[in-house]
Amino acid sequence: MNWLDKGIESISPGWAVARLKGRAILAAYEANKPTRLRKIKRESRGPDTVVGEGARGLREQARFYDENHDLVTGILDILVARTVGPNGILVEPMVRDADGKLHKQFNRELLDGFNEWYERPEVTGELSGAVCEQLVARTWFRDGEQMTQMVRGSKPGLKFPTNVPFLLELLEPDLFPIEFSDKSKNIHQSIQKNAWGRATNYYAYKEHPGDATSFTTLQDLKPIPADNLLHIKLIKRIRQTRGVSILHSVLTRIEDLKDYEESERVAARVSAAMAAYIKKGNPDSYIAPDPTTSNDRSFKMSPGLVFDRLQPGEEVGTIQSNRPSERLEPFRNAMIKMIASGTRVNYSSAARDYNGSYAAQRQELVEGWDQYLTLQTTFTSFFKRPVFKNYVKMAILSGRHKVPSDVDTETLYRAHFQGPAMPWIDPDKESKANERNVQAGFASRSQVIRSRNQIPHEVDEQQETDNARATEKDLTHSSDFANQEAGPEIETQEETEIETKTTDNEAV
């Protein structure tokens, strides 16, 4: 306690205690103490204030780099491939009967109907279900959020490809202006909420504000009920209304890397373009060319060229091409590691660098796959699951599916959703491990099949068809137990034992 604290203590003991407490806290957390060489940066604003000021700019930068930077394009491609894959999130209905068992027939009918509808589930009729998911995921990652309007029932000018009156309208976040707010109606960033913070309406433009023919204003906004809209967003803080691009923390690094690579490419082109020059001896020996005569001394470079027109004191020199710099690759790899860390992708995938042992590659894949599983779960919860649930609801209401009397109606919307499976680094080791787990009872065939992004009953039906065809054609395969070498060996041993007994009896 210094002299000032002692003086304060005599006047106001409570104030003195507060000062000592604050000093103790600062001493306990050195990271909170500014120094002459270190300035502390803090963020005390609310989540919506931060996002409202920067989300649009970050979104536009991310789109620019998606269009103009191969690294960003590749990262977004990886995120989409690992989250939804080429076929989208697979759905396996899990409706049960009154006895608690899976209702196989109705589940197959639901799956067949959903797959048929999912061939063209979008209002324009141009996109398949898998392409819709890929676009939704890419917009979600790049722009930070994506909105999808669920169109139910007949609408003027809208034609349904199946007899299920349900379609999807994919919308970009630009249609929902983040600057639109109305405190009197509790509208914040184009989203109206109730007293508990639950969204009730979304306000959107009728046309994209970025189109050349669009003349939209805030007065042109139309409300969309929240029950009809799917809003998937990347958030970092509690009660964050709008999403922010997954590239938000690495955009500066991406920009620096792009500028540095561009500088190295330009330097390499300049160095490669300048091949040779003629060096004069000294200024005194320089003779100006006669303008009345032709003095063209240029020549084309070719293998084995001998240039014998040098003047006294001249020599041919070459400019060494030391670009790109040998430091480019290690610097670029270091930057990609940080960019990959900030965007949840594996470094080897982002850099296309697959050097390393099996153990190292698998460790990286296993640790990184948790990030992809997290994204898969979020995508399923906010997009695929509600889409499937609304399809089932509308399909039953329209008569496309009739619910059997023995179905447990509480399980109508239950389903298993399977995202892309983790790739195999060594297929032989992976398949043998799966086989041992199934044989030991640590896993089921269904689990293994689903882990390969397939549906169990479809695999069983394919195997049943293949076996029937093989029997019809009298085909044998190495997987048939009857054709394994163990069978003949056992028969031979039994025959040997019989022959031995017969010989002994005859001897007796």
Q: Does pLDDT of 483 surpass 70?
A: no
Q: What's this model's pTM, rounded to 2 decimal places?
A: 0.79
Q: Mean pLDDT across the chain, nearest whole number? A: 84
Which of 368, 400, 440, 387 is closest to 82 using CA atoms? 368
- pLDDT at position 445 is 86
- pLDDT at position 508 is 39
In this structure, how many other beta carbons lie within 10 angstroms of the beta carbon of residue 232?
Answer: 20
Indicate if 242 and 144 belong to the same structural domain. Answer: yes
Return the minimum-mean-pLDDT range out of 76-90, 173-187, 458-472. Answer: 458-472
Paired residues of 222 in beta bridges: 204
- 138 vs 368, which has greater pLDDT? 138
Indicate if 27 and 151 belong to the same structural domain. Answer: no
Q: What percent of the chain has pLDDT over 90?
A: 50
In angstroms, the CA 167 to CA 118 distance is 9
Q: CA torsion, points 353, 356, 358, 359, in degrees to nearest 10?
A: -110
Position 350 in a domain: yes
- pLDDT at position 327 is 83
Position 417 in a domain: yes
pLDDT in tens, 82-117: 999 999 999 999 999 999 999 999 999 999 999 999
- pLDDT at position 275 is 65
Q: Does pLDDT of 291 surpass 80?
A: no
Which of 80, 166, 95 is closest to 131 using CA atoms? 80
Paired residues of 418 in beta bridges: 90
Indicate if 24 and 53 belong to the same structural domain. Answer: no
Q: Does pLDDT of 229 surpass 70?
A: yes
In angstroms, the CA 414 to CA 274 distance is 69
Transcribe 314-383 into DSSP letters.
-EEEE-----S-TTHHHHHHHHHHHHHHHHT--HHHHHT---S-HHHHHHHHHHHHHHHHHHHHHHIIII
> Of 408, 425, 442, which closes a domain?
425
Indicate if 151 and 241 belong to the same structural domain. Answer: yes
Indicate if 133 and 201 belong to the same structural domain. Answer: yes
Q: Does pLDDT of 368 surpass 90?
A: no
State both tokens at 321.
Answer: 């091409």
Indicate if 70 and 168 belong to the same structural domain. Answer: yes
In angstroms, the CA 374 to CA 394 distance is 29
Backbone angle region of 228, left / alpha / beta, with phi > 0 → left and psi within -120 to 50 → alpha: alpha
Indicate if 209 and 85 belong to the same structural domain. Answer: yes
Q: Does pLDDT of 389 surpass 60?
A: yes
pLDDT in tens, 310-322: 777 677 777 666 7
Residue 315 three-state SS = strand
In angstroms, the CA 20 to CA 13 distance is 11
> Of 403, 425, 447, which closes a domain?
425
User: What average pLDDT does range 246-270 have in this prediction?
Assistant: 90
Number of helices followed by number of strands (H, E) in the chain: 15, 11
Position 327 in a domain: no
Locus of tokens 């137990």: 481
- pLDDT at position 487 is 45
The helix or strand, by DSSP H or E, that contains position 233, with its residue range, turns out to be: strand 229-233
Quote the domain boundaries for residue 28.
Answer: 3-32
Position 360 in a domain: yes
- pLDDT category at 299 given cuts 50, 70, 90 is low
Indicate if 9 and 82 belong to the same structural domain. Answer: no
- pLDDT at position 282 is 67
Indicate if 24 and 147 belong to the same structural domain. Answer: no
pLDDT in tens, 393-445: 999 999 999 999 999 999 999 999 999 988 777 788 888 888 888 889 888 88
Which of 379, 80, 62 is closest to 247 using CA atoms? 62
In this structure, how many other beta carbons lie within 10 angstroms of the beta carbon of residue 209?
Answer: 14
In angstroms, the Cα distances linking 175 to 63, 134, 200, 387, 396 are: 16, 20, 17, 21, 32
Indicate if 241 and 384 belong to the same structural domain. Answer: yes
Position 467 in a domain: no
Q: Are 162 and 395 in contact (CB under 8 A)?
A: no
Indicate if 146 and 64 belong to the same structural domain. Answer: yes
- pLDDT at position 25 is 64
Backbone angle region of 329, left / alpha / beta, with phi > 0 → left and psi within -120 to 50 → alpha: alpha
Count the domains in the chain.
2
pLDDT in tens, 185-217: 999 999 999 999 999 999 999 889 888 777 778
- pLDDT category at 290 given cuts 50, 70, 90 is low
Q: At what angle do helices 3-11 and 13-28 cross, to 10 degrees?
A: 140
Indicate if 78 and 14 belong to the same structural domain. Answer: no
Position 8 in a domain: yes
> Of 381, 407, 425, which closes a domain?
425
Q: Does pLDDT of 498 surpass 50?
A: no
Position 281 in a domain: no
Residue 439 three-state SS = helix
- pLDDT category at 288 given cuts 50, 70, 90 is low
- 187 vs 354, which has greater pLDDT? 187
In 28-38, which positions are buried (b, 16+ CB within 10 angstroms) versus exposed (e)? eeeeeeeeeee
Q: Does pLDDT of 490 surpass 50?
A: no
In angstroms, the CA 194 to CA 200 distance is 7
In angstroms, the Cα distances linking 233 to 36, 146, 469 are: 40, 7, 49
- pLDDT at position 394 is 96
Q: Are 107 and 95 in contact (CB under 8 A)?
A: yes
Position 148 in a domain: yes
Q: Does pLDDT of 26 surpass 70?
A: no
